[in-house]
Structure 1
Amino acid sequence: MSKTIYNADYSECLPEALKKDPKMVALANATAAALLDTSGIIDNVLIYSRFDELPEELVDILAYDLHVDWYDYNYPLEAKRDLVKNSVKVHKKMGTKYAIETALGSLFPESEVEEWFQYEGEPGHFHIVLDVTNQRITADYAAIIRAVKLYKRLSAHMDELTYQGQIHGVIYTHAINLMLSKTKKLTKGGDNIGRIVIMEFKAQDSTAFDDMLAFVKQHPDFEKLEISYEPTLSLSGLEINLSRRRVINNGQEIELTVKEYDILCLLAANKGRVLTYEQIYDKVWGEISAGNEKDTVGFHIRNLRKKLCDTNSHFSIDSVREIGYRFNSQ
């Protein structure tokens, strides 16, 4: 059996000569008993490593000590724990979309902030989509507005608060599309020609569908064709594969850094709109800037222009003096 601080016999650590001295053995046993008593209460001073086990009274004290802004002693314990655990991250990023969503998410999971360019609003404005599906408290409009004001930056303005609820269910259907092809090689020229069969089966045609599948399995020379969809942002001579994070410019794949790719997607998704330095930095870096966002964003924009715009005249990333950048495409 392995020894730990909870069951160690410290008298075993004595040198052989002292183990024969009754007084030293008695002293070792007394010391061991006192140390074992101490080790038994160590858990009581461990706070952050066992936060989910702390009693509610200690959670309330920590909320006060950590200055958790949006906190109520009447909240459910689970909600209190989340608010306290997220408070440090929220305070580090006060004034950002992340801070608002994290704070709201502790009480209303899956809630979101929609920024102005997602709904064609005015720069610096945003919407709150409050998901009440798994809410931990009853939604109170005035309390939510107060909370949003605590975490948003002063220059941002909330246009709208929308309540959202989700209902999950399963819908069963037998309407199935099947595409089959069979190719035949010509004796001259070596080209392949083929026939493609596309069939649509309704709910009442399930027997016919099963019969067709059984037939196909007996003829391996039939090939089942599957059509997949990958979200792609297509512009003049430029394709951005969003699922694979690939950029094709004039038919050639371009290697971009993580930040360059994120900036390109943000600008291209808001084609024709001016995005400020602060908005780009906030969206791509997800943190409060230290006042150098113009230089930081500008460095990556210059690299994007060298990699993309210099070889493709169909689009451009234009500078708007002292404001930000705009993506233009023909």
Structure 2
Amino acid sequence: MKLQEAEILKLLPAWMRDDDSVKGLAEGTDEVTRALAARIKLMSRWNQIDQLDEQTLDEMAWELNIQWYDSTAPIEAKRAVIRNSDLVYSKLGTRYAVEQIVRDYFRTGEVREWYEYGGEPHHFKVLSDNPELVNNNLELFLKLLGVVKRRSSWLDAILICLTGEMFLSSGMAVREHSHEEHVMGCDEIYLYTGAVVHDNNRETVTIGTGELIAE
């Protein structure tokens, strides 16, 4: 008898098989045993996630009942989602769960709770430096977010934070009486940051924080 086809009732003595309570216990044991057999079958695939093809990954996600799994996502995202599914399941409704799905699908991301930016209680923002989070995948992200976040939590905004640097050269002229001196070659780096904010179907672009550092 295969474990996934186990029928405990048939293994019991004949005089016990007619007892309704025994039948109920046997049927319940069969369900648990078959579920465990299915999980054991999956265990052999955990160490091969990076080698599995997309069809096998989709089947594995279905077997694991990963509700935030997207079958149209890139294969590397699928592997990340499956690999971290147990951790996300154990922390559904928490900051960790939201951050994890953002990283699995979009590589980078973090959550800012309301008390970290002076917002209203139970509100939060999502920050990432990957524009794809909102460019082509905003609807998908909001759908996934609804599965893993706490129902009493509300998203205020999604901020795409971009950073960059550019090199500038400056010069200086000094005149003293009839003597004039030119000094060239002072390099400066101007660091700038920007943010694209999506809030209630409205997009704004903010540029304006910077720091001038001279070498």
Separation in 2, partners of 1:88, 1:108: 19
- Matching residue of 1:86: 84
Mapped contact 2:127–2:161 kept (Cα < 8 A) = no
Corresponding residue to 2:65 among 49, 64, 67: 67
Distance in 2 (CA, whole Å) between partners of 1:74 and 1:155 is 29
Asked if the contact 1:132–1:139 (Cα under 8 Å) also holds between the matched residues in 2, the reply is no
C-alpha contact 1:107 1:137 (8 A) present in aligned 2:
no
TM-score, structure 2 length as denominator?
0.54
1:108 corresponds, among 102, 106, 109, to 106
CA distance in structure 1 between the partners assigned to 2:139 and 2:133 by the alignment: 17
1:276 alignment partner in structure 2: none
Q: Does 1:158 align with 2:155?
A: yes
Aligned counterpart, 2:138: 141
Contact 2:68-2:148 within 8 A present in 1 as well = no
Distance 1:203 1:86, change over 3 A: farther
Structure 2 counterpart of 1:117: 115
CA deviations 1:81-114 (Å, max 9, x no partner) are 1111111111100011000010111111221111
Q: Look up the SS of the partner of 1:204 in the other structure.
A: strand
Residue correspondences, number: 134
Residue 54 of structure 2 is matched in structure 1 by 56
Q: Decide whether the 8 Å contact of 2:169 with 2:186 is kept in 1.
A: no
* Deviation of the 1:145 alpha carbon: 1.8
1:212-259 per-residue CA deviation (whole Å, 9 max, x = no partner) reads xxxxxxxxxxxxxxxxxxxxxxxxxxxxxxxxxxxxxxxxxxxxxxxx
Give per-residue Cα distances to partners, 1:180-237, cap 9 Å, x unaligned: xxxxxxxxxxxxxxxxxxxxxx86369xxxxxxxxxxxxxxxxxxxxxxxxxxxxxxx
Gaps of 5+ in 1: 1-44, 176-201, 207-330
Query: How has the CA–CA distance of structure 1 residues 205 and 170 changed in structure 2, closer, same or farther, with 3 Å as cutoff?
Result: closer
Task: Quote the offset at 1:80 in angstroms.
Answer: 0.8
In structure 1, what is the Cα distance between the partners aligned to 2:87 and 2:184? 51
Q: 1:124 to 1:64 in 2, by over 3 A?
A: same
Q: Distance in 2 between matches of 1:91 and 1:68?
A: 8
The verdict on how the C-alpha distance between 1:205 and 1:117 changes in structure 2, with shifts beyond 3 A counting, is closer
Higher relative contact order (CA 8 A, sep 6+): 2
Measured in 2, the distance between the counterparts of 1:90 and 1:128 equals 17
Give yes or no for contact 1:108–1:131 (8 Å, CA) kept in 2: no
**Residues 1:203 and 1:88: Cα distance change in structure 2 (over 3 Å):** farther
TM-score (norm 1): 0.36
Equivalent residue runs for 1:277-296 within 5 Å:
none
Unpaired runs of at least 5, structure 2: 1-42, 172-182, 188-215
- Which of residues 171, 185, 197 in structure 2 aligns to 1:204? 185
C-alpha RMSD of the superposition: 2.9
Give the distance between the partners of 2:86 and 2:78, measured in 1 at CA.
Answer: 14
CA distance in 1, matches of 2:71, 2:51: 18
**Partner SS, residue 84 of structure 2:** helix
The answer to whether the 8 Å contact 1:111/1:130 transfers is yes
In structure 2, the residue corresponding to 1:72 is in which secondary structure?
coil
Give the conservation status (yes or no) of the 8 Å contact 1:125–1:158. yes
SS class of match (2:47): helix
State the distance in 2 between where 1:168 and 1:75 align.
Answer: 28
